Copies of this chain bind each other. A is one copy, B any other.
Amino acid sequence: MKKVKVFITLKESVLDPQGQAVMQSLHNMDYPNVKDVRIGKYIELELEDTADVAAEVDEICDKLLANTVIENYRYEIEEEVHS
């Protein structure tokens, strides 16, 4: 078993209304230090070992997990999970 951590972020050119709102609240809450907030997704996958896990994860991300019109993704294939 492999554990894969996928990070999905909005492309830089795309405005992130949620991140903007969070930053605004943080400023209102008196955290003026915060200069930028971007909100994305963090997905943990568990996969049965195969010959090419990376290829499979790439496919899954391209097809489903990320919308590449607006999002970028990257991932880390982590430790073995023992079950």
Contact = CB atoms under 8 A, between A and B. Distances in A.
A26 interface: yes
A47 interface: yes
A35 B41 CA distance: 19
A80 interface: no
Contacts of A37: 43-46
B42 A8 contact: yes
Given A34-B60, A65-B22, A40 B29 contact: no
A26 B44 CA distance: 14
Interface of A: 1, 7-9, 19, 22, 25-26, 29, 31-48, 50, 56, 59-60, 63-65
